[in-house]
Amino acid sequence: MAALRSILSSRSFSTSVRLLNAAQPTNAAKRLPKLTLYTGGPECSLCEIMKQDLNVVRLTHPFELDTFNIREPPQDVPSEKAQQIEELYKNDIPILHLDGHYIQKHRLNSNPLKKLLENYNPEDPDPIYAHNKFRPWTGISKAKPKKLKKAAKAMAQVEKAYEAHQSRGPSS
DSSP string, 133-162: ------SGGGS-HHHHHHHHHHHHHHHHHH
Q: Which residue has the higher pLDDT, 17 or 76?
A: 76
Other beta carbons within 10 Å of 105: 20
pLDDT of residue 28: 47
pLDDT of residue 22: 47
| Predicted TM-score (pTM) of this structure | 0.62
Kindly report, residue by residue over 58-84, the tens digit of the pLDDT: 999 999 999 999 999 989 999 999 999
Does position 20 have pLDDT exceeding 50, yes or no?
A: no
Taking alpha carbons only, the member of 47, 82, 86, 49 closest to residue 67 is 47
Q: Amino acid identity of 21?
A: N
**Three-class SS state of 46:** helix
Does position 166 have pLDDT exceeding 50, yes or no?
A: yes
As a whole number of Å, the end-to-end CA separation of the chain is: 113
Is 68:85 a contact under the CB 8 Å cutoff? yes
Q: Which helix (H) or strand (E) holds 37?
A: strand 34-39
Largest Cα separation within the chain, whole Å, is 116
Is 100:38 a contact under the CB 8 Å cutoff? no
Give the separation between CA 158 and CA 82, rounded to whole angstroms: 43
pLDDT of residue 36: 94
